[in-house]
Amino acid sequence: MSIIEVNGLQKEFLIAKRETGFMGALRSLVKREFIKKEAVKDISFTIEKGEMVGYIGPNGAGKSTTIKMLTGILVPSAGNVLVNGIIPYENRQENAKNIGVVFGQRTQLWWDLPTIESFELLKAIYRVPDQRYKENMDIFKEILGLDEFLNTPVRQLSLGQRMRADIGASLLHDPPILFLDEPTIGLDVVAKEKMRTFIQEINRERNVTVILTTHDMEDIEKLCKRMVLIDHGQKVYDGEILAVKERFGKMRTLVVDLEEAQKPLYVSGGEICKQEGNRRWIRFNRDEISASELITQISQTHNITDLTVEEPDIESIISRIYQEGFTEPQFV
């Protein structure tokens, strides 16, 4: 069952044209000219209940604009949006009951109040029953480690602590949909892993639908099976991450440590792209030659002391898509 339906979504902004110089500024006061900017162009997709979807693209691609229309902050210029059966911008309060939102660079907590008081205020705003509030807080304390800073004013929290508090606050009223915009921004490796584990748990145990926008491709790869990729306001791919890796991730790197550092190495079907001491990095296309074939080839002339095969990461694949582009038939 689709919990989010987007059809032909568009958003245009009118930006005032600025002229240089004193006379230009004077003319702008008398008669302002505007430039039309299309932030989102005819985007359509559906998201099923319980899905975890990565919504990604470069800066200025239209990601945040789309999310703001789904949350009811912005009104579309054209197209239709349904979030859990509600048109967000027509029923903002009702829509707010069904969604949780975490913006990595903004907070929904009260800056000068102790963190626990922000949770108590949100409990009152969303009319969360006492028993459910206690149950949720117990879970957040255990998994997110909120106990260590609940009595600390929000302004004194570290970024990692604030992000943990924000994600707990966004789920306090048991929303079926969670929008996450850069949820791990600025977090260290340990804090990121805790955040990812928590997101996976609420998705699995509560069947919460998660829409994740981020520049951290590791978040996408670890959390999502599906991604929607947009560029210049247009959808360019919607499907499994695995399918993208299969199409654009054919290049592998074989890393071998050789016993004889000075002895020249020649390989057929691969390219030595880097070397340091005894170690060689050999790039190859898995459709043209296998790693085992390369290893056999190398072992005929050299003694191999260690080896690994490096898989392409999703970030390098996405980067390649943006640089090289692709045609739609490739994804049929």
- pLDDT value at position 321? 75
Contact 108, 167 (CB under 8 A): no
Position 122 pLDDT exceeds 50: yes
Residue 40 has pLDDT above 80, yes or no: yes
User: Tens digits of per-residue pLDDT, 255-307?
Assistant: 999 988 778 888 999 999 988 989 999 999 988 999 999 999 999 999 999 99
Distance CA 291, CA 309 (A): 8
pLDDT for the residue 318 = 77
- Token pair 């470069």 in the structure block, residue: 58
- Kindly state the average pLDDT of the residues 49-70: 90
**Whether the predicted pLDDT of 105 surpasses 90:** no
What is 250-311's CATH topology?
A: Alpha-Beta Plaits (3.30.70)
The domain locations on the chain are 2-7+45-245, 250-311
pLDDT in tens, 181-211: 888 877 778 888 888 888 999 999 999 999 9
| For range 83-106, the mean pLDDT | 90
251-258 and 271-276 beta bridge pairing: unpaired
* 83 backbone dihedrals φ, ψ, rounded to 5°: -120, 110
Residue 171 confidence (pLDDT) above 90: yes
- Same fold yes or no, 2-7+45-245 and 250-311: no
pLDDT band at 329 (very low <50, low <70, confident <90, very high): very low
The predicted pLDDT at position 296 comes to: 92
Residue 330 pLDDT greater than 60, yes or no: no
Angstrom CA distances, 213 to 21, 46, 80, 169, 270, stand at 40, 16, 21, 19, 36
In angstroms, the CA 75 to CA 266 distance is: 61
Q: Confidence class of residue 28 from pLDDT cuts 50, 70 and 90?
A: low
The 10s digit of each residue's pLDDT in 212-258 is 998 888 888 889 999 998 888 899 889 998 888 777 778 889 999 99
**The pLDDT of residue 130 is above 90:** yes
Q: Is the dihedral of CA 83, 207, 180, 130 positive or negative?
A: positive
- In this predicted structure, the answer to whether residue 68 has a pLDDT above a threshold of 80 is yes
Helix axes 189-206, 130-144, angle to 10 degrees: 140
Please, which pLDDT band fits residue 26 given cuts at 50, 70 and 90?
low
Mean pLDDT value across residues 165-187: 89
With beta carbons less than 8 A apart as the criterion, state whether 112 and 153 touch. yes
pLDDT score, position 260: 83
**176: Cβ contacts below 8 Å, ≥ 6 apart:** 3, 49, 84, 98, 207, 208, 209
Residue 71 burial class via C-beta count within 10 angstroms: exposed 0-12, middle 13-18, buried 19 and up: buried
User: Does residue 158 or residue 115 have the better pLDDT?
Assistant: 115
Chain centroid to CA 142: how far?
25
How is domain 2-7+45-245 classified at the CATH fold level?
Rossmann fold (3.40.50)
Cβ neighbours around 223 below 10 Å, total: 22
- pLDDT given at position 210: 96
Res 289: pLDDT: 92
Give the separation between CA 302 and CA 230, rounded to whole angstroms.
Answer: 47
Cβ neighbours around 79 below 10 Å, total: 17
Distance CA 3, CA 95 (A): 12
Q: 234 in helix, strand or coil?
A: strand
- Closest to 172 in 3D by CA, of 125, 106, 205, 207: 125
Mean pLDDT for the stretch of residues 23-43: 76
Q: Given a cut of 50, is residue 331 above it in pLDDT?
A: no
pLDDT value, residue 52: 96
